[in-house]
Amino acid sequence: GAVVSQHPSRVICKSGTSVKIECRSLDFQATTMFWYRQFPKQSLMLMATSNEGSKATYEQGVEKDKFLINHASLTLSTLTVTSAHPEDSSFYICSASPQGTDTQYFGPGTRLTVL
Amino acid sequence: GQSLEQPSEVTAVEGAIVQINCTYQTSGFYGLSWYQQHDGGAPTFLSYNALDGLEETGRFSSFLSRSDSYGYLLLQELQMKDSASYFCAVRKGGNMLTFGGGTRLMVKP
């Protein structure tokens, strides 16, 4: 149980284009999902908290107009990187907690490369 | 501010015991979690301490002292497959996690 999936696992795009990453909780419902970014050999940095049916809460320094988050259902959150630039190349990971529990389960991550 | 400190690298031999320490300074502390991450993979949950004391799960144990703002992860009977990065993370309100910088564990034969 408690499986979180992400799609795509890898994406390469040209600078200036937009990329959408999906995060799904496969066997549970999640009111809240989290989006992290991880650069090579570094820690996970929380970007935003995605709340079903309401606006996401962004961490300080994260541009909400650049990283669009939509949490349209209790099992799906999407992160769209708009007008991507090479410095946005990173490993993007989502996580979710089954309702009523404390443990966060992480998706397998999406490696974004912007050329 | 908030910060979590853990060693950047630890090396140990197969079969040994290794302890990875984590000190934290944060507001809104609910508990300390530990995650394992292999290169290119997602973090996987290992352990969570909300109260002081030791939690044991198989070869892995985790300890927390809230008064000292300190915790550790203990790995026993090390195996080669334990080579990975280990992160401590403070759980805050709203189930948010703040991660430490990670400790890269290398297990040698």
| Cross-chain CB nearest to B94 (options A49, A105, A107) | A49
d(CA A20, CA A9): 11
In Å, how far from its chain's centre is CA B61?
9
Q: Per-residue pLDDT tens, chain A, 115 aa: give them.
A: 689 999 999 999 999 999 999 999 999 998 889 999 999 889 999 999 998 888 899 999 999 999 999 988 899 999 999 999 999 999 999 999 888 787 889 999 999 999 9
Query: Which residue, A97, A61, A36, A79, is CA-closest to B94?
Result: A97
pLDDT computed for residue A99 by the predictor: 81
pLDDT computed for residue B48 by the predictor: 92
Q: Flag if A103 and B48 touch (Cβ within 8 Å).
A: yes
pLDDT computed for residue A84 by the predictor: 96
Q: Flag if B94 and A32 touch (Cβ within 8 Å).
A: yes
DSSP 8-state code for residue B68: T
pLDDT computed for residue A83 by the predictor: 96
d(CA A63, CA A68): 9
Q: How many helices (H) and strands (E) does chain B have?
A: 0, 11
User: For B39-48, what is each residue's pLDDT tens digit?
Assistant: 989 999 999 9
pLDDT computed for residue B96 by the predictor: 87
SS3 B95: helix
Residues of chain B with pLDDT under 50: none
Please enumerate residues of B whose Cβ is less than 8 A from a Cβ of A: 30-31, 33, 35, 41-45, 48, 50, 87, 91, 94-102, 104
pLDDT computed for residue A1 by the predictor: 65
